[in-house]
Amino acid sequence: MTRRTIHAEHGVLRIDQRLRVGDREIGTDVSGPVCVYSRIDIARGTVAYLSGDARVVVPGRCELFLPPFSIVQASLERCDVTTTAIAFRTKDRFPLEAVLLPAGDGGPVRSPEDALERLRLASSVAPIGRAPKPAPLPARTKAIIDAEYATALEIGRVAARLRTSPDILSRTFRKAFGMPPVRYRHHVRIVDALMQFADGGAPAEVFQDVGFDDLSRFYKIFRKVACAAPGAYRQGRSRTAKT
Q: Mention every residue, 6+ apart, whose C-beta is less than 8 A from residue 242.
A: 1, 2, 3, 4, 227
Closest of 44, 13, 28, 55 to residue 173, by C-alpha: 28
Cα dist from 120 to 91, 95, 96, 124, 171, whole Å: 15, 9, 13, 10, 38
Please give the average per-residue pLDDT across 151-174, as a whole number: 96
- Look at residue 237 in the predicted model and tell me its pLDDT: 52
Q: pLDDT (tens digit, 9 = 90+) per residue, 167-215?
A: 999 999 999 999 999 999 999 999 999 999 888 888 888 999 999 999 9
Q: pLDDT (tens digit, 9 = 90+) per residue, 11-44?
A: 898 889 898 998 899 989 999 999 999 999 999 9
Average pLDDT over all residues of the chain: 90
Q: Tell me the domains of the chain and their CATH numbers.
A: 2-127 (2.60.120.10), 136-242 (1.10.10.60)
More confident residue, 241 or 127: 127
Q: pLDDT (tens digit, 9 = 90+) per residue, 215-240?
A: 999 999 998 888 777 876 765 555 55
- Look at residue 189 in the predicted model and tell me its pLDDT: 96
| Predicted TM-score of the model (pTM) | 0.90
**What is d(CA 121, CA 109) in angstroms, rounded to the nearest whole number?**
14
